[in-house]
Homo-oligomer: A and B are copies of this chain.
Amino acid sequence: MDEVRMIEVKEEILADNIQVAAGVRARLQNTKTMLVNLMSSPGSGKTSLILQTIANLKDSVRLGVIEADIESKVDAEKVAARGIQAVQLRTGGFCHLDATMVTQGIDALPVDDLDCVIIENVGNLVCPAEFDTGAHKNVMILSVPEGDDKPLKYPLMFSICDLLLINKMDYLSLSDFDLSALRKRVMVLNPGIVILEVSCKTGAGIENWVNWLSAQIETFKGLK
């Protein structure tokens, strides 16, 4: 296998993607629909966070959800069961969403009537960090059981996000996770990032996430 050629292909794909992403962003600026790209490892709590967000903001924010999964549509079904507009993208083996796939999701949603669309990206800390989806805000979840060393191993992901949610805080007592070490490692990579501690299971800290998201949407829409 010619490794150099593989890199060229990747760069070409990434360059094309940047243009498509800029188009997505401009289009949703026009409809005043804020696009949020939610990323994490598998099982960190992306779907649980979206369900908590729906429960808290359903009456004040017109939400839509784009779910990405390699195979199943269990997540989109959970969202749709809450009466929220949801689209499932099956990536068919791809380990990330790119802006072209997101465009297909956007096309399938009534974005003119939505204030915010949340993308649940593929569970992966690597490739999703490299592909601009066209989102206005990038959010990641790190869950306590994954460990406090993840910024050392997946620095790009921590570098490109506007907000880091530390989820499964209810596991902290059983864990040797060092919150202070984690914060230091993240701040070195991304001094402007906001870090919030939550438990999607118990609901602890969810109000801080909901307040952050609401404020971003208001600013985006020019309401404050």
Residues of A within 8 A of B (CB): 1, 3, 6, 9, 13, 16-17, 20, 41-44, 69-72, 74, 93-95, 98-100, 122-127, 130, 143-147, 149-150, 152-156, 168, 170-171, 174
Complex-state Cα separation, A3 to B91, whole angstroms:
11
Provide the bound-state CA to CA distance between A141 and B164, in Å: 25
> Closest approach, in angstroms, between the C-beta of A109 and any C-beta of chain B?
20
Given contacts A124-B124, A130-B93, A174-B171, contact A146 B71 (CB under 8 A): no
- On whether the beta carbons of A154 and B42 are closer than 8 Å, the reply is yes
Contacts of A168 in B (CB 8 A): 145
**Nearest chain B residue, comparing its CB with the CB of A170:** B174
Protomer copies: 2
Residue contact B71 to A155, C-beta cutoff 8 Å: yes
Contact A42 B3 (CB under 8 A): no
Q: List 21 A-B contacts (CB under 8 A).
A: A1-B13, A1-B17, A1-B99, A42-B150, A42-B153, A42-B154, A43-B146, A44-B146, A70-B153, A70-B154, A72-B153, A74-B152, A74-B153, A93-B130, A93-B156, A124-B126, A127-B127, A145-B168, A145-B171, A170-B174, A171-B174
19 further A-B contacts with Cβ under 8 Å, apart from A71-B154, A122-B126, A170-B174, are: A1-B99, A3-B100, A6-B13, A41-B43, A43-B143, A43-B146, A43-B147, A69-B153, A70-B154, A70-B155, A72-B153, A94-B126, A123-B153, A124-B124, A127-B127, A144-B145, A145-B145, A145-B146, A145-B171
